[in-house]
Amino acid sequence: MYQQPRGKITDQEMLDRAKQQTKKEAQNRQFRNEKDRADHIDGNGNILAVAGDPGIGKTTSAKNSVGQFLSGEFVTNVTFLFFIMIREIKFKEDVALLKLLSNNLPNWEHSEKSDKYWLQKIVTDRNVVIVLGGLDEADVDDFAIAVPSVKTHKPAQPFHIVLNLVSGKLLPYAKIIVTAQPVLPSASQP
């Protein structure tokens, strides 16, 4: 059901709300220590999912987010910004994280030394933003698979990298915005 928006909310406000919600959830969970609790909040409080029917503006919203980051309208600093349209990923070829992220950057010249340097920066930087547009358009057979953890520097299946990103397991400090249409179960599923 479509509802007329009641005002504007910035991506920063949504990320702040996601962080608050994750902190509330963390209060109800058992953790071995405070570091585990903080890691949980860092890994899950920076992820936004925008889901909705076709044509309501999810991709436009993602592009607007990128515009906000580039123009400095976003409240926090952005050191690295990656915008990836899921439908443009070649899901049949293993790839390293940095090559997946820089796929739309044609002037990025990869070398072992430079990739190691930039990857170290991206992994530890709290001002990395990754916008993933159209998660539902991933060229995969099953979204419900158990996904193994991947390493930042080793090639892996692109879908495994994407799911590790959106679950907060890979680049836990990055702010991640994901858009997708809701995936409804088929008639044969209960």
Sorted by sequence, the CB contacts under 8 Å of residue 189 that are 6+ apart come out as none
Q: Does residue 118 register a pLDDT over 70?
A: yes
pLDDT for the residue numbered 1 = 38
pLDDT for the residue numbered 7 = 60
Tell the burial category of 183 from Cβ atoms under 10 Å away from its Cβ (0-12, 13-18, 19+): exposed
Share of the chain above pLDDT 70, in %: 85
DSSP label at residue 19: H
The percent helix, strand, coil of the chain (3-state, each to 5) is: 40, 15, 45
Q: Does residue 134 register a pLDDT over 60?
A: yes
68 pLDDT band, cuts 50/70/90, is confident
pLDDT for the residue numbered 187 = 45
Question: For the residues 123-146, what does the mean pLDDT come to?
Answer: 83
Give me the phi and psi of 148, to 5 degrees please: -70, 155
- Using only the alpha carbons of the chain, give its radius of gyration: 17
188 pLDDT band, cuts 50/70/90, is very low
Question: For the residues 152-173, what does the mean pLDDT come to?
Answer: 90
List, in order of start, the domains of the chain with CATH numbers.
47-180 (3.40.50.300)
Q: Does residue 150 register a pLDDT over 90?
A: yes
184 pLDDT band, cuts 50/70/90, is low
pLDDT for the residue numbered 145 = 72
pLDDT for the residue numbered 173 = 87
74 pLDDT band, cuts 50/70/90, is low
Neighbours of 187 (CB within 10 A): 5
Sorted by sequence, the CB contacts under 8 Å of residue 20 that are 6+ apart come out as 45
Distance between start and end Cα atoms, the chain? 24
Instruction: Report the predicted TM-score, pTM, of the whole model to 2 decimal places.
Output: 0.79
